Amino acid sequence: MTELLSIILAAGEGTRMRSSTPKVLHPVGGLPIIGHVTRAARDAGSSRIALVTGPRHAAIRQAVTAMQPDVVHFEQAEAKGTGHAAAMARELFTDAEGYIAVVYGDHPRLRGENFRVVLDRLDAGLDVAILGFEPKDPTGYGRFITDGETLLAIREHKDASEEERRIRLCNACILAFRAEVFRDLIDRIENDNVQSEYYITDLVGLANKAGKKVGFGIAPEDDVMGVNDRSQLARAEGLFQDVRREDFMKAGVTLKDPKSVWFSYDTEIAQDVTIEPNVVFGPGVKIESGAVIHAFSHIEGAHVGSNASVGPFARLRPGANLGADVKVGNFVEIKQAEIGAGAKISHLSYIGDASIGAEVNIGAGVITVNYDGYNKQRTIVGDNAFIGSNSALVAPVTVGEGALVGSGSVITEDVEADALALGRGRQINKPGRAKAIFAEAQAKKLSKKGL
């Protein structure tokens, strides 16, 4: 494959988002917009990626480095347009071979195959190939000025004549060049336009003047939609979710009410899983075959084993690892815990920082007391143990295999295998005392009212 350098432009301020968070860090499907773009560039075969950001965009650089450590960062200190921004990556394109793609960083629906549309045109002999699309409303987009298969120029909307604004074919978000052509033309861009900016799209006209072969490819509108405000962000999220839902159903996953289930970019679900309405999957979830996720459950950073049952109204937080045939019932929260095969945590419990063995029964209202105000401690429960309802296991503590913890116990010491543990006060009954207490309370209430 021909070497590909992708230069991603993300120096804009995104003021229309009305947010202290940079535009390209807003998530779609649990992944920042810029993460979708870098993944698409990588999927297209980019051996090197340059990211151009503004001087106040340290958060973007940090986020991208966490996702793609080998991305090289450049700063556009002054906002002088897209052509000026692309030139900031000179350190990389000076010795680049093969192809260079310049990509706008605010397109969360972008995929590697969208790159291939224009890269294939370069493979076929073009010197420059620009990705275009035909939007329902072309307002605001640069228009393609064409002569048959040749792209003569891209006219920005603000600079276009009324006749040119009637053109339906518009600039999308990827401009691809042979490396030597890009290198030769990038410094020839001028700023004689309404905005007094250096437009990267002016390279099309410059390439034509230099006698280069310039063409274009077409992408579906939904693939190349940009995000500039919250409304577009919501639309991008909706499109993302629709595609994920269809993909999972085609792969053998049952969605009882597809529109009410929300996935992340990295959700993994095996065939024959059933998902009931109003379930949300955060990042980092894997569900094995045969599992059932009941309604109104929220799962993030968790693994659910085969034939397990989760919910309704369950919450699995990062680090929850459920084995095969586990049952997690309503209003149960689990985090940083290993739950062994066949274990049951049926209702109203919190299990955190724990290892729960196979076939363990956790009664209603059981909690692991894992935090002392400064540090987290771990609870270990052996195979086949039974923890009675409304018990508190105060970590660090171990309950051995086959042990029984009586209901209402507070367990602060280890319990040996097969032992019965009781950690509660002895019950005392006082005949008639309840009646006297109620009478005293009623008299006190009446005296306050002056009766």
| 4-224 and 243-421, same CATH topology | no
pLDDT band for 1, please (50, 70, 90 cuts).
confident
Q: What is the pLDDT of residues 302-329, one digit of tens each?
A: 999 999 999 999 999 999 999 999 999 9
Q: What is the DSSP string of 289-354?
A: TT-EE-TT-EE-S-EE-TT-EE-SS-EE-TTEEE-TT-EEEET-EEEEEEE-TT-EEEES-EEEEE
Identify whether the C-beta of residue 4 lies closer than 8 Å to the C-beta of residue 118.
Answer: no
Q: Is the pLDDT of residue 448 over 90?
A: no
pLDDT digits (tens, 9 = 90+) for 334-365: 999 999 999 999 999 999 999 999 999 999 99
Going by their DSSP bridges, the two strands 333-339 and 315-316 should be labelled as: parallel
**Are 386 and 369 within 8 A, CB to CB?**
no
How high is the pLDDT of residue 193?
A: 84
In angstroms, the CA 408 to CA 441 distance is 28
What is the H or E stretch that residue 244 is in?
helix 230-250
User: How is domain 243-421 classified at the CATH fold level?
Assistant: UDP N-Acetylglucosamine Acyltransferase; domain 1 (2.160.10)
Identify the CATH number of the domain defined by range 4-224.
Answer: 3.90.550.10
Task: State both tokens at 162.
Answer: 């009324």
Dist. CA 363–CA 345, nearest whole Å? 7
Rounded distance between C-alpha atoms, residue 123 and residue 391, angstroms: 68
Catalytic residue among 57, 107, 303, 347: 347
Find, among 10, 195, 4, 194, the residue nearest to 88 by Cα: 10
Query: Model confidence at 159, in pLDDT bands (50, 70, 90)?
Result: confident
Look at residues 52, 81, 51, 92 and name the one whose alpha carbon lies nearest to residue 69.
51
The angle at the Cα of 426, spanning 384 to 421, to the nearest 5 degrees, equals: 20
Burial class (CB in 10 A: 0-12, 13-18, 19+), 420: exposed
> Mean pLDDT for the chain?
96
pTM of the model: 0.90
Q: What ranges do the domains of the chain cover?
A: 4-224, 243-421
Indicate if 347 belongs to the active site: yes
